[in-house]
C-alpha cells in the first residue's frame, strides 16, 4: 500500500429523513397510534374501555305541569257601557281610620 494515505478530505451529505413511515401512519386503524419521541417512533394499540357493570337507568319522566283554567270575567249587561270603576271594587271596602 504505497501512496494510499488518509487525508482530511471526505464526503458527507445532509438530507431530510422520515421519522415515521407515512404509509404506516395513514393505514392506522381506530385505537392505534404512533408515539414519536427523540427521533424514533413506537407503535401502540390503545385498549378499548370495558363496559360499565352498573345497570342503565331508565330515562327521566317529563315533569307534570298543571295549568289552571283561566278565570271567567263578569260580563256587562248588553247595551250598557262599562263605567268608571270604584276604588272599593279594586281595593275592597274603605277602612275607617280611628284615632
Asked if 21 and 36 touch (Cβ cutoff 8 Å), the reply is no
The pLDDT of 15-41, averaged and rounded, is 88
pLDDT at residue 32 in the model: 92
Asked if 19 and 40 touch (Cβ cutoff 8 Å), the reply is yes
Asked if 33 and 46 touch (Cβ cutoff 8 Å), the reply is yes
Read off the pTM: 0.35
pLDDT at residue 45 in the model: 93
The pLDDT of 58-83, averaged and rounded, is 77
Q: Which of the 8 DSSP states describes residue 4? A: -
Amino acid at each position: 500500500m504505497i501512496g494510499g494515505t488518509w487525508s482530511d478530505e471526505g464526503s458527507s451529505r445532509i438530507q431530510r429523513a422520515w421519522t415515521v413511515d407515512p404509509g404506516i401512519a395513514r393505514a392506522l386503524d381506530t385505537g392505534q397510534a404512533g408515539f414519536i419521541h427523540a427521533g424514533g417512533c413506537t407503535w401502540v394499540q390503545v385498549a378499548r374501555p370495558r363496559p360499565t357493570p352498573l345497570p342503565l337507568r331508565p330515562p327521566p319522566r317529563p315533569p307534570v305541569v298543571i295549568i289552571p283554567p283561566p278565570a271567567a270575567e263578569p260580563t256587562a249587561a248588553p247595551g250598557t257601557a262599562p263605567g268608571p270603576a270604584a276604588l272599593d271594587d279594586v281595593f275592597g271596602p274603605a277602612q275607617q281610620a280611628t284615632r
